[in-house]
Structure 1
Amino acid sequence: MALTHTKTAPATFCLLCHFVTADIQFVARQAARKVRRERIDEIAQKQYQMPDSDHCRKALSLVAECSPEFLVNHGLRSYAFAVAMAHRVRKPFDREVLFMGAIMHDLGLTSQYDCGNTFEVDGARAARSFCIDQNLTTDRADLVHEMVVHHNSVGHAHKMNPEIALLHYGAGVDVAGLWLDEIHPRTLAQVVENYPREGFKQGMVALLKDQVRRKPSSYMAPFIKLGFLKKIEHAPLP
């Protein structure tokens, strides 16, 4: 797997097109469900619990050592919501790799791993280095790298490997309420109860503002210009 070493900010027009398309797809999904009387399945807690492996435990410990609690819980919720969104991918996925990518996907937002690049690239390099140190195969370490670097790649991530697509969905649900209509209400309530948000909205907004202030050409800069922070603040989540 070829690694992504740079991440250029998308053009504002392209972002707008993606946002409009997403809104149209949301309305279409809602209408289709009503017509077909489809239901969203509830996901049992055991399905999104951390995989029982040393790799996952060590990844969680790494993140907990350098991140505020709201960011740790965000990673745990992103994994849970990613598992709950598996119906969107309908392909086998590596649960251990999915967890490791999910829990480490915001390492680049921490002072310890912020090396001055766009945070997705810094985080991806740190996550891959950790995986190599833990003796994961190169293929799996590379996949974690690509999960982290592309977790917010609007318009692209959902077309990539299942693990990349699922993290994109899971993080999107938790950050901005995207695809929230595809999570069963009891699953949502249980995940938030197990991994409280702990002032997540305010914390994430502050981190992203700081990133864009210090790195005006970073990947998230045009998102912020288009009002993404408002979307976070107004997301229908606690």
Structure 2
Amino acid sequence: MNDELRLPATELARRTLVHAQSLLPAALFHHSVRTYLYGRLLGEQRGLRPDHDYDDELLFLGCVLHDCGLSAEGNGDQRFELDGADLAVRFLEEEGVASDRAEVVWDAIALHMDREIAARKRPEIALVALGAGFDLGGGPEKLPPGYADRVHRDHPRLHTAAVLHDSIVNQALANPRKAPLFTMQGELLRQVGGESWPTWEQLARSAGWNDYEGYRP
């Protein structure tokens, strides 16, 4: 592998990579590794140096495990990023990782769907969201010439966006609690089913507090 595409060489990183590969379909596994490669590079473009300005192993753990809530083992009753964060911590605890380090990984996974919030957190958290978002939607950042081609050679896309969409929707179809109203998961489920969402006023009236009775804007 080209040195610029190197992955952390610690024993924990290696075991985590094997664990993620055992859980995820190939498309999501490669997306998870690309999340790290793009997140690390985009961090470097912002002046963040691995293992100087942030813990590179923690970034890798957060990236590689960030979609494990979409696996059969990670599929619970919460939004997939919360289920994935819980699953990641259970795995890391079994690996003997200290609770404060595992908590950083939990935050990185739980917040990766909200780049604006994640961006205000420590780099290991911010760069997971940044890398995942870039791998799916690109961004204004400019990559070195040929970098994306080299990444995709080693970690092919395999219809990543389509597989991710179907993984989220299939979980939500089986358990609508995983797709609350006004979340991204909820919107994907709405698009598939064609349901209409209630308005703010309808939701408020359904609470029974009579907040709209007699109200005049």
Under TM normalisation by the shorter chain, which class is it?
0.7 to 0.9
Structure 2 letter corresponding to 1:183: L
Q: Name the structure 1 match of 2:56.
A: 95
* Count of equivalent residues: 183
Q: What is the CA–CA distance in structure 2 between the aligned matches of 1:147 and 1:191, rounded to whole Å? A: 22
Q: What is the CA–CA distance in structure 2 between the aligned matches of 1:117 and 1:90, rounded to whole Å? A: 33
1:114 to 51, 75, 98: 75
Q: Name the structure 2 match of 1:38.
A: none
TM-score, length of structure 2 as denominator length:
0.77
Higher RCO by CA contacts (8 Å cutoff, separation 6 or greater) = 1
Judge which range, 86-95 or 63-72, deviates more. Answer: 86-95
Q: What is the CA–CA distance in structure 2 between the aligned matches of 1:226 and 1:154, rounded to whole Å? A: 23
TM-score, length of structure 1 as denominator length:
0.70
List structure 1 runs of 4+ shifted beyond 6 angstroms. Answer: none
Give yes or no for contact 2:118–2:125 (8 Å, CA) kept in 1.
yes
2:23 to 51, 59, 66: 66
Q: Name the structure 2 match of 1:41.
A: none
Structure 1 letter corresponding to 2:147: T
5+ residue gaps, structure 1, are 1-43, 228-238
The CA deviation at 1:45 is 4.0
Structure 1 letter corresponding to 2:26: E
The CA deviation at 1:115 is 1.0
The CA deviation at 1:158 is 0.8
Alpha-carbon RMSD across the aligned residues, in angstroms, is 2.2
Three-state SS of the structure 2 residue aligned to 1:136 is coil
Q: Please state if 1:156 is matched with 2:114.
A: no
1:170 to 131, 134, 149: 131
User: C-alpha deviations, 1:168-223, integer Å up to 9, x for none?
Assistant: 110001122234x3322411111111111122122112112224433330742355
Three-state SS of the structure 2 residue aligned to 1:128 is helix
Q: What is the CA–CA distance in structure 2 between the aligned matches of 1:131 and 1:89, rounded to whole Å? A: 29
Q: Which has the larger radius of gyration?
A: 2
1:220 to 174, 184, 195: 184
- Structure-2 change in CA distance of 1:122 and 1:56 (3 Å): same
Q: What is the CA–CA distance in structure 2 between the aligned matches of 1:216 and 1:96, rounded to whole Å? A: 31
5+ residue gaps, structure 2, are 192-217
Q: Name the structure 1 match of 2:208.
A: none
Q: What is the percent sequence identity of the aligned residues?
A: 26
Three-state SS of the structure 2 residue aligned to 1:165 is helix
